[in-house]
């Protein structure tokens, strides 16, 4: 099980996030009344998705012995689309043929966060 703790901090909408021994912040930009002390919750989700895709590709290429030198992932979210859409653009650097590049594109959609975001999930909120 993965556990994350979030608590309001002293800024208007700011949140302190604790993950294992790591500490992050989330907030909203000034245009939405925030103090801009951290990424928005949506940006954190996109960062998690991009990181997961990149790590998954690096692990896969390493197991296959492929010469993947680096992975870049550019993500955008458009809530005006129906349904809302996340675009992910992969940049793969290394000595890879077209078949390997296509396989890596396919594998990127199998990362755990991609699966989490595209599979029906139950979120159960309780008061404590």
pLDDT at 81: 86
List of the chain residues with pLDDT < 50 = none
Q: Enter the pTM of the model.
A: 0.92
Secondary structure (3-state) at 104: helix
Q: How many other C-beta atoms lie within 10 A of the C-beta of residue 83?
A: 5
- Using CA atoms, how far residue 109 sits from 44, 72, 89, in Å, is 18, 15, 12
Give the DSSP H/E element, type plus range, for residue 125.
none
Q: 93-104, pLDDT tens digit by residue?
A: 999 999 999 999
Contacts of residue 96, Cβ cutoff 8 Å, sequence gap at least 6: 66, 67, 68, 104
pLDDT at 50: 97
The full DSSP string for 24-62 is EEE---GGGT----S--HHHHHHHHHHHHHHHHHHHHHH
């Amino acid at each position: 099980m993965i556990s994350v703790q979030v608590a309001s901090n002293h800024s208007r909408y700011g949140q302190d996030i604790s993950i294992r021994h790591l500490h992050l912040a989330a907030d909203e930009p000034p245009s939405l009344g925030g103090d801009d002390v951290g990424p928005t919750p949506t940006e954190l989700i996109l960062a998690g998705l991009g990181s997961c895709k990149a790590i998954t590709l690096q692990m896969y290429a390493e197991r296959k012995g492929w010469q993947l030198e680096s992975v870049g992932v550019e993500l955008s979210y458009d809530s005006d689309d129906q349904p809302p859409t996340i675009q992910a653009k992969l940049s793969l650097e290394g000595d890879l043929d077209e078949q390997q590049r296509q396989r890596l594109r396919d594998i990127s959609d199998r990362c755990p966060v991609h699966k989490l975001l595209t599979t029906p999930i139950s979120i159960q909120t309780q008061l404590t």
